Amino acid sequence: MAYLNFSEVQGAPAPAANQRVEFAPEATLSALEWSVVAIARKDSLASLSAPSRLSTAFGMVFGGSRPNPKLADQRLEALRRIAVLGWHYGYTIPTEELGAFLAAGFSLDQYELVQDSIGRARGARIARTIQ
């Protein structure tokens, strides 16, 4: 039986037999967080920006309201913003939004999980439209 040492190829030393190797836990989201991602599907890009003074004045005069104000929980709001951008643009997310998402306590694995889920849903929606 042959042995090939891949640690030299990867540049990292192989762990010793008695050394414990830690793996990152698999990325998950709670049911509440998944519901925020689902709700974000119907949010417009306008829900990401603060209303202008003119928009507020027109709303007061003509009786309009913003469809989705910011979420009270800043962590969930960061998730909603990433999800809205994901539904509209896919993986093309501004760096500052990704930074805010990570600063809210999410990981890059969770970001990829959200974007992959949105991508699959967008792909299924396009496939239904074509048929």
Residue ranges of domains in the chain: 75-131
Q: Return the pLDDT at 113.
A: 92
- Written as tens digits, the pLDDT of the chain (131 aa) is 566 555 555 555 555 556 554 555 678 889 999 999 999 998 888 777 776 787 777 777 877 666 556 777 889 999 999 999 999 998 888 999 999 999 999 999 999 999 999 998 887 666 666 66
What single-letter DSSP state applies at residue 1?
-
Q: Return the pLDDT at 101.
A: 94
- Look at the pTM and tell me if it is higher than 0.85: no
Amino acid at 39: I
Q: Return the pLDDT at 15.
A: 56
Q: How far is CA 102 from the centre of its chain?
A: 10
Q: Return the pLDDT at 123.
A: 76
Query: What's the CA gap between 48 and 69, in Å, rounded?
Result: 9
Cβ 81 vs Cβ 56: under 8 Å: no
